[in-house]
Amino acid sequence: MQDRSHLLTEQRLVDSMGLDEMSIDEAIVLMNFQDRQACEAVASQRQNLARAVEIVSERLRQGGRLIYVGAGTSGRLGVLDAAECPPTFRSDPQMVQGIIAGGEAAMFRSQEGAEDRAEDGAAAIDGKEAGPRDVVVGIAAGGTTPFVHGALRRAVESGAATIFLTCVQPTDAEPKVDLVIRPLVGPEILTGSTRLKAGTATKLVLNTITTLAMVQLGKVYQNLMVDLRATNQKLWDRGARIVATLTGLTREPALDLLKRADGHVKTAIVMHELQVDRAVAAELLEKAGGKLRDALKTGHPGT
């Protein structure tokens, strides 16, 4: 059995040794202070985060995939980020995917022992048929998860780009990858509970990577989700508000325009701004690689 006592996430936080004797208010103040350490730890990884965004956006632009791999909290956060991309950015559900040790059941109930088999991680990557156009991000807050190590090593063999996200200091057993993102959040208030600061740092990192990669792919204009397609009442409302904001139309004309654009926000905006029909607007967006700003600069085809 591996001795993990030297890892930062397994050490005791001196400030919380009296946690069971603190008032609720004192404990909240302490937790809030420690949560800020997660933000600072992520900020220290700015250069590595920027490189991760470049790697991911480059592969996605080539038609590749971003595949998260993790166990426990780390795996759930990866699956969550993947699940949130299609409704936020209208991305293909296959573009960002999450693998969690123990499979779908582990999302809702801990599957003890599922993370201990490196060969299962390798098999999961084989099942995805990962290749040179893909990026595999292994997430292991405590750094030693065999399932994640096995997945990353197989991903390297497959030619995929590889990123390791961990909250502990380097160890000799770490897989050799293209990039490591290492927000060192320090010991947890509840010793060893990496669902706390380490989990917060992990969520911040994943938010940053996918959000900014999608910006690079043209799914954002200014700070608006313009690649949205209205498919329910909430999205029709949001889409109409975005169209109104960017065109200066009032609500009802904006909603009518969005309906004529078949619910596609970017198409509606191009239709209005360049005074073209839906087919031409779609053509302009395709030629601009889906980037609304570039499509608006091109004008009508042939001009």
3, part of any domain: no
Q: Residues 45-87: pLDDT tens digits?
A: 999 999 999 999 999 999 999 999 999 999 999 999 999 999 8
Q: Which domain holds residue 120?
A: 8-216
Q: Are residues 100 and 210 in the same domain?
A: yes
145 and 267: one domain?
A: no
The answer on 237 and 192 residing in a single domain is no
Nearest to 251 by CA among 261, 240, 259: 240
Please tell me which residue in 10, 58, 84, 283 is annotated as part of the active site.
84
* 209 and 238 belong to one structural domain: no
Q: How many CB atoms lie within 10 A of CB 38?
A: 23
- The predicted-structure confidence for 113-163, as pLDDT tens digits, reads as follows 788 899 999 999 999 999 999 999 999 999 999 999 999 999 999 999 999
Residues 238 and 211 grouped into a single domain: no
Identity of residue 144: T
Instruction: HSE, CB side, 13 Å, CA atoms: give it for residue 83.
Output: 10
Tally of domains in the chain: 2
Query: Do 204 and 261 belong together in one domain?
Result: no
Are 14 and 80 members of one domain? yes
In a domain, 121, yes or no: yes
Residue 228 belongs to a domain? no
Express as a percent the part of the chain with pLDDT over 90.
84
What is the rounded average pLDDT for all residues in the chain?
93
Is 247 in the same domain as 151? no
Q: What is the CATH number of the domain that holds 37?
A: 3.40.50.10490
| 292 shares a domain with 179 | no
pTM: 0.91
Note if 112 is an active site residue: no
Domain of 273, CATH number, reads 1.10.8.1080
Active site residue 115: yes
